[in-house]
């Protein structure tokens, strides 16, 4: 019996107390330990205070520094013990050797968890560093869960917790959870996600993973109603058995997308020095992730794009699509890309071609699938009719619309107007949203930009505005056709593969 208890490594169980993730992710009262009163301080503690304030965290914040003082009119407590009543969560940014004491004090203050931003632990590879990590582990086992050390912390849009140095992350929640040891990867992903239209339930950078790590977090997120998609960047894991069990269980319930770093020889060397873990064998990782039913991606763009597609598209596979857009060559290459990913672009019936053709400018257009609308200035109401008609084809499960909006630069110059005024991007996004609502078939937008140079910054800006119109309407939008099709293909692997259904019952 004793042995059995020892073996339990699931979140909280090994600790003999129930982990209160609700109080960790949505704390009402937090302490920031290690905040300098010096306004110009570049310290992590002060930086975190500024970031959380900027995020508009609604709960109570208690600052701690042995020197006391004030910051922005807020009193700084000299000791954690001086904070009145209980706290839910603590952010610790003091020197490594002072962290264990601070953590213990936070535990006594009733905190359910703490994130430790400080570095100087096992990642140093020194005996002292490892010793400090061990101390944290012991304190954690007594009743406080630890994120970190050597991390950027938790970002939770709903509660207003943010990670370093993110004062400007979104407060709008969404279905995607992101996990990484690496703080850099986590904050970059959070920033990229914002302009890409990915909304988060929670993002956790867990650094050394001394206590909480991907296995515990997967265990929690699997049943977290706020999370529908789990994305993660992995450098190393602690225990293959636990990892496999947890990721398989999670992937049986919701998509789990994994970017595994350190599978090249050079990569493995840098993993060893970055998170002091083992990179592992490429082919074994590939096989094991597949066996667990998780989806492996190969770079961070693909990770973000797949996360967005999973978040915004219906939960199913799309084996057959239509493509509507300007340019014959775009259509041809689109078909080639789609086929590479096992997605069909079936030609429309003669009757449907005739009806779609009626809407299109002539000559130069084609109503076969892909639909070539002949020029980039076809008005949104016409594109809408084309999309509505194309959706009537029973084979079509999803539509892609490619808009070459950058060509409007010529028109803008002709009328001497700012480009954003001549491009009907809002009408376009409205039309697409309406098509989705009426047909029940998703539409994915692609906004390529061939004019990205310094001389065309107004075009880059206009494309960003057009993108935002789509994002505001929950329409997945990509820069390139290839990105869009690869993301759809990733959705297909999860929902269409044998894996998912088998794993769910198994």
Partner 1 sequence: MKTDKAAKIISSALRKKRTNLSEYEAKKVLAAYDIPVTREILIKEKMDLDKALEKISFPLVMKGCSAEVAHKTEKGLIHVDIRTVKEAKKAFTEIMAGLAGFEGGVLVQEMIKGRRELVMGLTRDPQFGPCVMFGLGGIFTEILRDVTFRRAPLEMQDARDMMQDIKGRKILDAVRGMEAADTDLLARMLINLGQIGLDFESIMEIDLNPVILAGAKPVVVDALVVMKTEN
Q: Which spans of this chain sit near partner 1 (rule: CB under 8 A)?
A: 237, 240-241, 243-244, 278, 280-281, 283-284, 287-288, 290-291, 498-499, 502, 506
Cβ nearer to partner 1, comparing 44 with 243: 243
Rounded to a whole number of angstroms, the minimum distance from the CB of residue 242 to partner 1 is 11
Q: In angstroms, rounded to a whole number, what is the distance separating the alpha carbons of residues 305 and 297?
A: 10
Cβ nearer to partner 1, comparing 244 with 341: 244
- 284 preceded by a cis bond (ω within 30 of 0): no
Cβ nearer to partner 1, comparing 50 with 290: 290
Question: Which of 330, 246, 338 has the alpha carbon at shortest distance from 293?
Answer: 246
Question: Which of 397, 486, 492 has the alpha carbon at shortest distance from 443?
Answer: 397
Q: Judging by beta carbons within 10 Å of its beta carbon (0-12, 13-18, 19+), is residue 24 exposed, middle or buried?
A: buried
Cβ nearer to partner 1, comparing 262 with 331: 262
Cβ nearer to partner 1, comparing 357 with 497: 497
Contacts of residue 4, Cβ cutoff 8 Å, sequence gap at least 6: none
Q: Which residue matches tokens 């709960």?
A: 59
Contacts of residue 453, Cβ cutoff 8 Å, sequence gap at least 6: none
Rounded to a whole number of angstroms, the minimum distance from the CB of residue 500 to partner 1 is 12
Rounded to a whole number of angstroms, the minimum distance from the CB of residue 288 to partner 1 is 5
C-alpha gyration radius of the chain: 26
Rounded to a whole number of angstroms, the minimum distance from the CB of residue 63 to partner 1 is 42
Cβ nearer to partner 1, comparing 284 with 464: 284
Rounded to a whole number of angstroms, the minimum distance from the CB of residue 237 to partner 1 is 6
Cβ nearer to partner 1, comparing 147 with 237: 237
Cβ nearer to partner 1, comparing 243 with 406: 243
Question: Which of 409, 364, 408, 367 has the alpha carbon at shortest distance from 385?
Answer: 367
Rounded to a whole number of angstroms, the minimum distance from the CB of residue 291 to partner 1 is 5
Q: In angstroms, rounded to a whole number, what is the distance separating the alpha carbons of residues 470 and 479?
A: 12
Cβ nearer to partner 1, comparing 234 with 386: 234
Q: What tokens were used for 59?
A: 């709960």
Residue 205 DSSP symbol: E
- Tally of residues, the chain: 506
Rounded to a whole number of angstroms, the minimum distance from the CB of residue 56 to partner 1 is 42
Question: Which of 80, 468, 167, 486 has the alpha carbon at shortest distance from 302?
Answer: 486
In this structure, the strands spanning 74-77 and 70-71 are antiparallel
Rounded to a whole number of angstroms, the minimum distance from the CB of residue 262 to partner 1 is 12
Question: Which of 323, 341, 316 has the alpha carbon at shortest distance from 399?
Answer: 323
Rounded to a whole number of angstroms, the minimum distance from the CB of residue 279 to partner 1 is 10
Q: How far is CA 361 from CA 341, 366, 372, in A?
A: 31, 9, 10
Residue 402 DSSP symbol: E
């Amino acid at each position: 019996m004793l042995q059995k208890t020892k073996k339990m490594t699931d979140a909280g169980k090994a600790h003999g107390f129930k982990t209160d993730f609700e109080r960790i992710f949505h704390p009402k009262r937090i302490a920031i330990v290690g905040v300098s009163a010096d306004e110009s301080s570049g310290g992590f503690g002060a930086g975190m205070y500024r970031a959380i304030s900027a995020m508009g965290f609604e709960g109570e914040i208690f600052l701690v520094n042995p020197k006391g003082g004030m910051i922005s009119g807020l009193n700084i407590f000299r000791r954690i013990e001086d904070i009145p009543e209980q706290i839910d969560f603590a952010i610790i940014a003091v020197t490594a050797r002072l962290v264990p004491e601070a953590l213990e004090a936070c535990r006594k203050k009733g905190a359910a968890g703490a994130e430790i931003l400080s570095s100087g632990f096992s990642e140093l590879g020194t005996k002292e560093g490892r010793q400090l990590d061990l101390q944290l582990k012991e304190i954690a086992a007594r009743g406080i869960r630890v994120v970190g050390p050597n991390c950027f912390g938790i970002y939770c849009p709903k509660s207003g917790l943010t990670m370093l140095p993110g004062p400007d992350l979104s407060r709008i929640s969404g279905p995607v959870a992101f996990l990484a040891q690496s703080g850099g990867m986590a904050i970059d992903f959070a920033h990229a996600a914002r302009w890409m239209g990915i909304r988060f339930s929670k993002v956790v950078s867990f650094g050394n993973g001394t206590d909480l790590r991907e296995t515990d977090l997967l265990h929690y997120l699997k049943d977290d109603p706020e999370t529908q998609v789990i994305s993660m960047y992995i450098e190393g894991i602690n225990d293959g058995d636990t990892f496999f069990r947890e990721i398989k269980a999670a992937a049986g319930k919701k998509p789990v997308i994994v970017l595994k770093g350190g599978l090249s020889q050079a990569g493995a060397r840098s993993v060893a020095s970055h998170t002091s873990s083992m990179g592992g064998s490429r082919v074994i990782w590939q096989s094991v992730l597949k066996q667990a039913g998780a989806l492996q991606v190969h770079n961070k763009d693909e990770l973000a794009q797949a996360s967005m597609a999973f978040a915004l598209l219906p939960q199913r596979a799309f084996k057959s699509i239509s493509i509507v857009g300007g340019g014959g060559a775009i259509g041809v290459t689109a078909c080639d890309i789609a086929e590479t990913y096992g997605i069909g672009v079936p030609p429309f019936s003669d009757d449907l071609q005739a009806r779609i053709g009626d809407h299109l400018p002539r000559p130069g257009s084609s109503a076969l699938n892909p639909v070539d609308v002949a020029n980039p200035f076809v008005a949104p109401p016409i594109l809408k009719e084309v999309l509505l008609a194309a959706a009537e084809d029973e084979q079509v499960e999803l539509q892609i619309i490619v808009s070459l909006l950058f060509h409007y630069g010529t028109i803008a110059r002709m009328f001497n107007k700012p480009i954003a005024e001549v491009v009907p991007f809002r009408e376009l996004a409205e039309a697409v949203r309406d098509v989705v609502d009426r047909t029940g078939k998703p539409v994915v937008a692609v906004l390529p930009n061939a004019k990205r140079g310094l001389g065309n910054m107004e075009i880059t800006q206009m494309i960003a505005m057009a993108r935002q119109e789509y994002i505001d309407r929950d329409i997945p939008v990509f820069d390139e056709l290839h990105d869009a099709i690869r993301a759809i293909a990733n959705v297909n692997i999860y929902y269409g593969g044998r894996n998912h259904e088998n794993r769910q019952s198994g």
